[in-house]
Structures are given as C-alpha cells and as structure tokens.
Amino acid sequence: MKKDETLKSLENAEIELTRLVETAKSLIDGIDPEDRVLPTSSRETKFGQWFYTDGQKLKILSNNPLECMSNIEELHNKLHERYREIFDLYFSEEKKSGFLSKIFKQKQKVLSESELQLVSEKYAEIEKTAQELLAEIARLQRRLVAVSEEKINALV
C-alpha cells in the first residue's frame, strides 16, 4: 500500500460521491442522467471496492480511530440506500418481458405530490449524509498526511 495511491483513492471517492449526489439531483430535476444506473450497493462502487480491500488496512494506523472507518462505512451505505430509494420512486420496474422492453430505456415516471415530498426529504438526507461522509474522508486524509510514508507502505 502506497501513501500517494491511498490519498488518490480518497480523492477519487470525493469525486464519486459528488457525482452520486448530482445524479440524484438530476433525477429530481427531470434530467435523464447519462449514467442513471449507478451502483446502488456501496460495495459495487470504486470507492467501496477499495474501502473493503486496501482501505481496511488503515484500521491499524495508530492515529486513525476505529470509529472513523465504521463512520465512513455507515455513511457510505446510507448514501447509497437513499439514492436507491429515490431511483426506485422514479423508475420502479414493472415486470415486463419481451425483446423490446430490453432495448428501450425505462421512462422516468411522473410522481404524485406525496412522492415528490418523499423524494425531497430523501434528497435532503443525501446532501446531509454526503457532507458528513466527505468530512469524515477529509479527516482520514489529514491523518494519512500526518503519517510517514514508510508506515503506510508497511501496511500489508
């Protein structure tokens, strides 16, 4: 594990998380995002894949409290859960079979007033959770910067 690669993974996580929030906002604004089928499981994302492999090695750093890693995991999971809830409201899948249903993109449905209120609440949760997660990642980055490269490189 290299310090610069680890810091780069955390920078990429910030970009990925910001993109998830922007995609949720696009759905709400009625804009069909190009990549609306984002991973809904936190483990399927690039950050999630890193976090559950190399990222776990950071738990043993003396200046990184265990709650930092558990907070990141909890917030990351929550963010993806809320995104999935919003996505499901707009694109609830009707069980369609047949060749043509697989070719054409699913249309975004028009939501009722109560569904719009629910989406608004869930989006507010996404924004708050994303801010908390980005703050936790920033704390982890500061801790990594404070640790010598040799200590990080020694993590196996």
Q: What is the 3-state secondary structure (H, E, C) of 102-147?
A: HHCCCCCCCCCHHHHHHHHHHHHHHHHHHHHHHHHHHHHHHHHHHC
Element (H, E) at 148: none
pLDDT in tens, the chain (156 residues): 889 999 999 999 999 999 989 988 988 888 776 655 565 678 888 899 999 999 999 988 888 888 999 999 999 999 999 998 988 888 775 544 444 444 445 677 788 899 999 999 999 999 999 999 999 999 999 999 999 999 888 886
Q: In the prediction, which pLDDT does 117 show?
A: 94
* Rounded-to-integer distance, Cα 57 and Cα 155, Å: 6
Burial environment of residue 58 by CB neighbours within 10 A (0 to 12, 13 to 18, 19 or more): buried
| Contacts by 8-11, CB closer than 8 A, 24 or more apart | 9/47, 9/50, 9/54, 9/55, 10/137, 10/140, 10/141, 10/144
Q: pTM to 2 decimals?
A: 0.84
Burial environment of residue 3 by CB neighbours within 10 A (0 to 12, 13 to 18, 19 or more): middle
**DSSP state, 1?**
-
Q: In the prediction, which pLDDT does 26 show?
A: 87
| Overall domain count for the chain | 1
Q: Which domain holds residue 48?
A: 3-153
CB 28, CB 99: distance < 8 Å: no
